[in-house]
Amino acid sequence: MFYYILALFVILLDQFTKWLIVKNMELGDSIKVIENFLYITSHRNRGAAWGILQGQMWFFYVITIAVVLGLVIYIQKAAKGKLLLGVSLGFMLGGAIGNFIDRVYRKEVVDFVNTYIFGYDFPIFNIADSALVIGVGLLMIDMIREEREAKKKAYGENGTHHQ
C-alpha cells in the first residue's frame, strides 16, 4: 500500500505544480531561481522526452496503459518485503500517471523545470519526469544490489564457489 501512496503523492505534486504553471505563467515565461543554473519556464511538450514523437498521442496512451499495468503487477508480485524495489516502482508509477493525465486532458505535457548543467541547456522537464528518472535510478541500484547478494550466496564472502 505504501508504494501506491508514494505514487499518489507524486501524481498530486506533479499535477499541483503543473496547475500553478498553467494558471500563473504565460507559455514561454521564465523565472530565474539560480542564475545560469535553474529557471522555472512555462513550456509544453506534445511528444516524449526531448520532444521526440511529437503528436503521437495514441502511441503514448497505449504505451502508458501497458506500463502502468505492468508496474502494478510487478509491485503486487515482486515488491513485497523489498522496500527499494517498491519505492522505485512507486516513483515510476506516479511519474507515468502524472504525464498520462496531461496527455489525456491537455493533449500535451506541461514542463517547467529548466536547468543549465555545465553550460548545457538541458531539456525542460516536470515532477513526473523527475519521478520516472529517480525510479529508474533506484531500480538500477536495487538490481546491482540484488546481483551482488546473489553472487555472495553463490561464491561466499571470500570468493570461492560453494556447492
Helix %, strand %, coil % for the chain, to 5? 60, 15, 25
Q: Are 109 and 103 in contact (CB under 8 A)?
A: yes
Write the single-letter amino acid at 81: G
Return per-residue pLDDT of the chain as tens, 163 residues.
899 999 999 999 999 999 999 999 999 999 999 999 999 999 998 876 656 666 667 788 899 999 999 999 999 999 999 999 999 999 999 999 999 999 999 999 999 999 999 889 999 999 999 999 999 999 999 999 999 988 888 887 666 555 5
Report the pLDDT value the prediction gives residue 152, as an integer from 0 to 100: 86
| pLDDT score, position 154 | 85
- Cell 521564465 -> residue: 30
Element (H, E) at 29: none
Rounded Cα gap, residues 34 and 27, in angstroms:
20
Q: Which residues are catalytic?
A: 111, 129
pLDDT at residue number 32? 97
Question: Beta-carbon neighbour count of residue 53 at 10 Å?
Answer: 14
Q: Which residue type sits at 154? A: A
Q: Would you give the DSSP letter of residue 56? A: -
Tallying the residues shown for the chain, one arrives at 163
Residue 55, φ and ψ in degrees, nearest 5:
75, 10
For residue 46, which of 95, 92, 122, 102 has the smallest C-alpha distance?
102
Grid cell for residue 134: 529517480
Say if residues 125 and 48 touch (Cβ distance below 8 Å): no
